[in-house]
Chain A
Amino acid sequence: MGQHILKTDSVHLEFDGRKILQDIYLDCRQGEVVGLLGRNGCGKSSLLRIIFGTLKPSYKHISINDRHVYKGYDGGRVAYLPQHNYLPQNIKIESLAEIIIDPQFAGEFKSLPIYQNHYQKKPSQLSGGELRQLETLMCIYSRADFILLDEPFTHVSPVQTEMFKDVIRRCAKIKGIIVTDHQYYSILDVANRIVLITDGSTKAINNPDDLIRYGYINHMI
């Protein structure tokens, strides 16, 4: 089976007459991690939701292997980690994992401490941090070919951030992953390619100095 490629092109999104996204091109192949950066309110999350299919812009062209995709989640091709909690609260974690986890990664997922310690519980019995960790991992290990991660490193301890980055790198061997977060140094570390959204359009970032040139950061940490 060849590598799948997800392409997003010509997205037009407006809120109350204000143009949010207007000149967008973003692609992602299986086997790579694409980092998406941008200031608050520039439309990063909106772009991910448009690709996933839960936000309808005035125009978009999204394709997988050059075949038009109306909603990314149809057929389970694309999975999305939203910024909010998304697991049903009163179903056992073991049952939730059974449906969503990619069989190729089932052993690896089930060996994680967060699953080992809580698989008999329901999400409502977990703390906020534990729940977020579980939701992030369930999304990364899901069956989809392409994974969209919206702020996976926010409100997460440094040790967990490192663990997420390792998991992302391992899963990216067979999946395409688009990840956005305000912890840009984590994105620079984990991503193979960086794309910046500025003034409603996407810019390829070839070296970290471009982030300064486009005014995303003042200096590198």
Chain B
Amino acid sequence: MTINMVCIYFLLRGEVNVVGSYVLKIMSYGLIIGFQYYNYNANKTFFYFRNAGYNIDRLYLYALTCDALAYGILLSLLKLVKYWVSIF
């Protein structure tokens, strides 16, 4: 969520375009995954999810896809609001 807010902030200020903001998000995903995989304490909890029958790679895929979709919807709504504000 924080990353979404940062991306939207730079987007609304006109410092990055939509494609650029998605590139920023993909880079942040890389950082998150890298931290989780290589941080000794973070990846200890993977055992809980594996014991529950979840595949960690698939969990990441679902979570990040949902995040990217949510970001797209949020972005579209903000653009729409910005457009309405400029009209009225």
Interface residues of A (CB under 8 A from B): 52-54, 73-76, 79-80, 82, 84-89, 96, 99-100, 138-139, 142-144
Contacts and interface: CB of A to CB of B under 8 A. Distances in A.
Given A53-B50, A75-B53, A82-B47, 18 more contacts: A74-B55, A76-B52, A79-B50, A80-B47, A82-B44, A84-B44, A85-B44, A86-B44, A86-B47, A86-B48, A87-B45, A100-B51, A100-B52, A138-B51, A139-B51, A142-B51, A143-B53, A144-B51
Contacts of B45: 86-89
Nearest to A52: B50
A88 B45 CA distance: 5
Interface string B53-69: 10100000000000000
A141 to B, nearest CB: 11
Nearest to A75: B53
Closest A-B pairs by Cβ, 6 of them: A76-B53, A86-B47, A73-B50, A79-B51, A100-B52, A88-B45
A116 B83 CA distance: 55
Contacts of B53: 73, 75-76, 143-144
**By DSSP majority rule, is chain B's interface helix, strand, loop, or mixed?**
helix
Interface residues of B, number: 10
8 contacts: A54-B47, A54-B50, A75-B53, A85-B44, A86-B44, A86-B45, A88-B45, A100-B52
A96 B48 contact: yes
Contacts of A89: 45
Contacts of A52: 50
Contact of A100 (B46, B48, B55): B48
Contacts of A144: 51, 53
